Amino acid sequence: MSAVIDEKSKLVINETSKRYSNTKSQIIIYGIVCALIFIVPSFMDNAYLLNKFSTYLIMGMLAMALSLSWGYGGILNLGQAVSFGLGSYCMAMALKLRTVPIHTGAEGLPDFMVWNNVETLPLIWQPFHSLTLAVFLGIAVPVVFAMLVGWFMFKGRITGVYVAIITLAILVVVNLLIIDQQRITGGFNGITDLAQLEVFGFEFDAYSSSAYYLIAIFLTLSLFLALAITKSKTGKILQAVRDHEDRVRYFGYDVSHFQIFVFAVSAGISGLAGMLYTIVMEFASPTFLGVHLSLSIVIWCAVGGRQSLIGAMLGAIFVVGIQGSLSESETFLETWTLVMGFIFVMVVLFLPKGIAGAFESLAARIRQKN
């Protein structure tokens, strides 16, 4: 059985490299998918559903970011949710400061700080009075954090399984710290009761098409940014690092620079996704940096196809979408989770390149016949 799979995957590798040279058709496919995402609101005037759809798109963005570092860079990051959570907390802090606290009035302390007997606004909260600075930090903090972790791991030539273990452990550490620092972060409850995002007097209501379009725009931008990276020379070298790290090193490249780069870009996109998530969910919680979410991202990415940006993205949107549409009924959702686990094991066993990979090998076979 496994020999058969190996043969198949070899075929897929050959065919994908041929196919991936065809950049133009790829841009067209990506463009069509993004266009489809943009026309969704014209068919749907249900604000509640639109809000749900927005969250699916954000999960798609996360899976796409992981595909960039995992599928192209070979870095299995089990702590992808760290950057997501950091981004979402940055946005939540900014939006929290825009509310008028009941206890202390305007310019006062956030409510949970009052409950925790905090007297003055902690220093770490000060920059978030400015929304511009908050948005900058929402991307910069995850990027810098990823660069530090990446520098720490890749300069020491840590690879494979150890990357997975270290990133997972770091995720747990950050999660524990956020829960513990209740006076600053709101602890278990996170940061709730946020103001709505308002830019130049324009309000992005979480339950409206404006928030949806905001997310769709950033999803499209980051998708094409990621595509551009994979097509660039850096992207090619990254894929070479993924396949044969040592050979790339023999050519005189500093492999760690490329790994740190893709790790940081992936974190930046996740941070952006985190900020958008806070806007549509209207809160930030430690579960955003939980082990469960972080490993779910890996699952979506693997099911969709880790070596295809759009595959990973659509994989996440569909899996989360099905989950979301079943969540009305408790028993359905429970059974679905069971089925999902089963499907996931099957995909790992029989479709190592995910559904996108299966499509590609199918297309290749059809082309071969003609």
Distance CA 39, CA 46 (A): 14
Q: Applying CB under 8 A, which of residues 298, 310, 320, 358 lies at the interface with another protein? A: 298
3-state secondary structure of 205: coil
Smaller CB separation from another protein, 8 or 231: 8
3-state secondary structure of 199: strand
Q: Applying CB under 8 A, which of residues 29, 102, 199, 349 lies at the interface with another protein? A: 349
Site of tokens 């324009």:
202
The piece of 48-56, 191-199, 208-216, 348-356 that touches another protein (CB under 8 A) is 348-356
185's CB contacts (< 8 A; 6+ apart) are: 89, 178, 179, 191, 286
Nearest one of 264, 363, 349, 256 to 308, comparing CA atoms:
363
DSSP structure class, residue 288: G
Q: Applying CB under 8 A, which of residues 66, 90, 139, 153 lies at the interface with another protein? A: 153
Smaller CB separation from another protein, 134 or 351: 351
User: Would you count residue 334 as binding another protein (CB under 8 A)?
Assistant: yes
340's CB contacts (< 8 A; 6+ apart) are: 299, 319, 323
Q: Applying CB under 8 A, which of residues 2, 117, 120, 370 lies at the interface with another protein? A: 2
Smaller CB separation from another protein, 151 or 207: 151
Taking the CB of residue 326, how many other CB atoms lie within 10 A of it? 16
CB 202 → another protein: shortest distance, Å? 41
3-state secondary structure of 77: coil
Distance CA 140, CA 132 (A): 12
Nearest one of 229, 255, 254 to 243, comparing CA atoms:
255
Whole-Å CA distances, 313 to 60, 75, 147, 223, 355: 4, 18, 24, 9, 12
The piece of 1-9, 113-121, 210-218, 238-246 that touches another protein (CB under 8 A) is 1-9
Smaller CB separation from another protein, 220 or 256: 256
CB 173 → another protein: shortest distance, Å? 5
Smaller CB separation from another protein, 2 or 25: 2
The site string for another protein over 52-91 (x = CB under 8 A, - otherwise) reads ------------------------x-x-------------
Structure tokens at 286: 């430690």
User: Would you count residue 11 as binding another protein (CB under 8 A)?
Assistant: no
User: Would you count residue 162 as binding another protein (CB under 8 A)?
Assistant: yes
CB 257 → another protein: shortest distance, Å? 18
The piece of 46-54, 135-143, 203-211, 329-337 that touches another protein (CB under 8 A) is 329-337
Do the Cβ atoms of 52 and 324 come closer than 8 Å? yes
Smaller CB separation from another protein, 136 or 342: 342
Distance CA 313, CA 69 (A): 14
Q: Applying CB under 8 A, which of residues 1, 36, 106, 123 lies at the interface with another protein? A: 1
DSSP states of 40-62:
HHHH---HHHHHHHHHHHHHHHH
Distance CA 209, CA 114 (A): 35
Window 168 to 227, contacts with another protein (CB under 8 A): 168-170, 172-173, 176-177, 179-180
Distance CA 349, CA 150 (A): 30
CB 231 → another protein: shortest distance, Å? 25
Do the Cβ atoms of 296 and 66 come closer than 8 Å? no
The piece of 132-140, 219-227, 319-327, 334-342 that touches another protein (CB under 8 A) is 334-342
Do the Cβ atoms of 100 and 106 come closer than 8 Å? yes
Count of residues interacting with another protein (CB under 8 A): 43
Length of the chain (residues): 370
The piece of 44-52, 156-164, 256-264, 313-321 that touches another protein (CB under 8 A) is 156-164
Write out the residues near another protein by the rule CB under 8 A. Answer: 1-2, 5-6, 76, 78, 152-153, 156, 158, 160-162, 164-166, 168-170, 172-173, 176-177, 179-180, 291-292, 295, 298-299, 302, 334-335, 337-338, 340-342, 344-345, 348-349, 352
